[in-house]
Structure 1
């Protein structure tokens, strides 16, 4: 099975999720460092829709950009626009497999799609 992880190597939760993927037999891991290669707005929308994840639940609320853009009051479209423009706002890690999509918070949550 192929698993794609939107990964930030500086994030401990992302590193833990990657370790779970690498330790799971039969998983072919594709690592996307989303800060270097950000997903498009369309890709963000499609991945979250496939996972049944609201953009409101998928952005990093504590980031300065989130506060500056007043995302707490924004709708899903504005949040997706902001995440596409400022990938630091993407909650990490995101794991995508044929079985679904999960945000690895906690990292063990990704097991649901393995």
Structure 2
């Protein structure tokens, strides 16, 4: 399976998602999007494939969202995408692309929806101690 994660190593959710992917025995392509952001077309395609609107894919917390006036409902998707490319911290993370789909993996266990369910055979616990998979690799509800 081919997996690409748009990753921010400073983000706990992004780190947990990356570790879940690796727990499935997959070494993904890791793109640190703050250093190497996708182009506008790639970003628009990922957002559409994830089922989100462009506005839903913008990160507000810890970003210059307000300062840039991005809350203005009159802004077009194109304008929002341009802002996200110019200021990559505005791209919500982590975005993960697999052969089974694309997801914004917030929470990190959302990545389980786009990985083969039989890839997990053991427990997984997030870095904060929250259990995600039981001893048999089954998702904990």
TM-score range (shorter-chain normalised) is over 0.9
Divergent runs of 4+, >4 A: none
TM superposition shift of 1:58: 0.7
Stretches of structure 1 that go unaligned for 5 or more consecutive residues are none
What's the CA shift string for 1:49-99, capped at 9, x where partnerless?
122221111111124421112111133221111001100101111100111
Corresponding residue number in structure 1 for 2:6: 6
Taking structure 2 as the reference length, the TM-score comes to: 0.76
- How many residue pairs get aligned? The number is 113
RMSD: 1.2
What's the CA shift string for 1:4-62, capped at 9, x where partnerless?
0000111100000000000003x341100001111111110011112222111111112
Taking structure 1 as the reference length, the TM-score comes to: 0.92
Distance 2:101 2:46 in 1: 9
Corresponding residue number in structure 1 for 2:50: 51
Q: Which structure: larger Rg? A: 2
Query: Contact 2:103/2:110 (CA < 8 Å) preserved in 1?
Result: yes
Alignment of 1:71 onto 2:63: no
- Identify the structure with the greater helix proportion: 1
Aligned residue runs from structure 1 range 1-114, under 5 A: 1-25=1-25, 27-73=26-72, 74-114=75-115
